Structure 1
Amino acid sequence: MILLSSSLPPGLAKHAVPTYTQTLSLVASSVTLARMSTRTTLACWSLDELADDAELIVSELMTNAVRHARPPAPSEDEPGRCRLTLQQPEPDTVRVWVTDASSRRVVRRTPGDGDETGRGLAVVDHLASAWDILPMRGGGKTVWAELRASGP
């Protein structure tokens, strides 16, 4: 996979990093697949201590993409697509990226006590050491989050 340096956080384009990427349909079952892929990838990278938080972040970002980034007239054959990317830029760090083609703005909501949705980005903000939303050239966006292991 090739990523343009303009779409990466500062400093990441200077060296190659272990990367896993997967293109997923914008359907609910893709959230489960993304969670499993995340847990497996982090196990391969010996970052098991980050797996629970990374899996939750991936779940929130993928759910947002499935709910809000579908094309205006999705079909059963083409529900839209997004891309999950996991990177290990440092031995104790993982970055999660979810990229979709929608130009719809990401809005962090403040849900009421009885609301069943709207807490996803608050969860990401709480768990991640850093996160951001990057507009993509030609439309679409990437939401990324970084997690760091607690150390020895």
Structure 2
Amino acid sequence: MIETGAGPMPAYTETLPRVADSAHRARRLVHLALEVWGLAHVQVDAELVVSELLTNAVLHARRGESVRVTVTRLGEGRVQVAVVDLSKDQPVPRDAGGDQESGRGLGIVEALSGGQWGVDPLPWGKRVWATVGAEAGPGE
């Protein structure tokens, strides 16, 4: 459980090596959490978002040998995925040209989260997070 302003929220978290191959393990962590919570309808988006966030940490953090991945259930139908790294450098969205192989990650995160993403500075680095899924309607 993670303590939030709304009280404790169920969460899964894992420390992974800051290497490209960890994206697979991060997706697997998200998959497991969403399967347990019965949130398969957000699985594809959440897995893609955690992949992009982890890949950004691997490519740009340049500090530390590990990252921390967390998936938190925020309520019916919504989850937050986050990656903590040891760099204080803020991620910067870029406009990637059609022939560029990289630079689309934060645009993908923006689109899949409906703009619900951000960066929390930490004393030792930062936490980049995104919320995926729709808010439950009244009575749900």
TM score, norm. by length of structure 1: 0.83
| Structure 2 unaligned regions, length at least 5 | none
Looking at structure 1, the residues matched to 100 and 117 of structure 2 have their Cα atoms a distance apart, in angstroms, of 24
- Of 63, 67, 89, 2:74 maps to 89
Matches within 5 A, 1:14-29: 14-29=6-21
**For residue 105 of structure 1, what is the amino acid of its counterpart?**
Q
Greater share of residues in strand: 2
SS at match of 1:98: strand
Looking at structure 1, the residues matched to 8 and 101 of structure 2 have their Cα atoms a distance apart, in angstroms, of 40
State the Cα RMSD in Å: 1.8
Shift of 1:112: 1.2
TM score, norm. by length of structure 2: 0.89
**For residue 22 of structure 1, what is the amino acid of its counterpart?**
E
**For residue 27 of structure 2, what is the amino acid of its counterpart?**
R
Shift of 1:111: 1.1
Structure 1 residue 98 corresponds to structure 2 residue 90: no
Shift of 1:139: 2.9
Is the Cα–Cα contact under 8 Å of residues 9 and 73 in structure 2 kept in the other structure?
yes
**For residue 97 of structure 1, what is the amino acid of its counterpart?**
A
SS at match of 2:92: coil
- Flag the 1:105–1:150 CA change in 2: closer, same or farther, 3 A: closer
| Structure 1 unaligned regions, length at least 5 | 4-11, 72-78
| Aligned residue number for residue 48 of structure 1 | 40
SS at match of 1:16: strand
Looking at structure 2, the residues matched to 121 and 31 of structure 1 have their Cα atoms a distance apart, in angstroms, of 16
